[in-house]
Every structure is written in structure tokens, then in C-alpha cells.
Amino acid sequence: MAVTHATTVRTAIADLVVDRIDAGAGAGTLEFLTSGDVEVATLTFSDPAFGAASSGTATASAITSDTSATGGTVAKFVTKDSNGTAVFYGAVSTSGSDINLSSLSVGVGDTVAISSLTYSAPA
């Protein structure tokens, strides 16, 4: 039998994780990276980054677009607090991934935006 968490525990875990993005003096970031860890675009979270979790899932507040991307092919992402400390990572594709973008190819100076983001704690 696999280990599972009660919903109240999952909610506490989700709050704990996303609250780490608010560590430091300013807003955290959502960085899109190539497979070789080169930054393609950096978006800025609101401060606080997420609202309170419910049923193990937290929903991000507004995220500011990067209107002057570095450019490259996106493969993954990392969230960081304002001190640059990584909080959580994930995969990026055009469908069925942790974050789905309309295109993984980003040109220099392009605008990169996301319309929503949630974090769900493991069951």
C-alpha cells in the first residue's frame, strides 16, 4: 500500500511549499529554462505568490509577464524566492505537463505569459 495523506495534511503541505516563494524581501519568480538550465524567460509572482490552499491545492495570484525574454527552447521551470533560492521545479511542454505553454520556442525580446498556475501537494 502506498503512503497517502489526509486532505488537511495535503492542504498544509501545499501552503508550506508555496509560502516559501514569499521568503525574502520581495516577490518570487517563475523561471523558464532550457534543458541545459539556461534562462529563457523570468516571470514575477505577486507578493504573496499564492492564496491559501484548499483540498491540497494552492492557486497563484497574478503573475507578471516577461516582456523581454532572453529566448530559447523551454524545457522546464523553477520557482524561486526573492533571494534566488529554488522552491520547486517542473516540466514544461505544450500539453500534459506541469506547465503548458502555447509554444516552447521563445524568441529574444518575446513576451512570455501564463494565465494560471496551481500547486497540488502529493496525495
This prediction's pTM: 0.94
On whether the CB atoms of residues 14 and 121 are closer than 8 A, the answer is yes
Nearest to 47 by CA among 28, 71, 20, 72: 28
Spatial contact of 111 and 66, defined as CB atoms under 8 Å apart: yes
CB count in 10 Å sphere of residue 67: 12
Query: How high is the mean pLDDT of the chain?
Result: 97
Query: Which triple of cell numbers denotes residue 60?
Result: 497563484
Which amino acid would we find at residue 70?
T
What band does 1 get if pLDDT is binned at 50, 70 and 90? confident
Q: Higher pLDDT residue, 6 or 1?
A: 6
Q: Would you call 20 helix, strand, or coil by DSSP?
A: helix
Mean local confidence (pLDDT), 9-23: 97
Place of cell 514544461: 92
- pLDDT tens readout for residues 24-81: 999 999 999 999 999 999 999 999 999 999 999 999 999 999 999 999 999 999 999 9
Helix (H), strand (E) at residue 18: helix 7-19
Q: What is the DSSP letter of 66?
A: B
In this prediction, residue 20 has a pLDDT band, given cuts at 50, 70 and 90, of very high
- The pLDDT value recorded for residue 116 is 94
**Residue 117's pLDDT band (boundaries 50, 70, 90)?**
very high
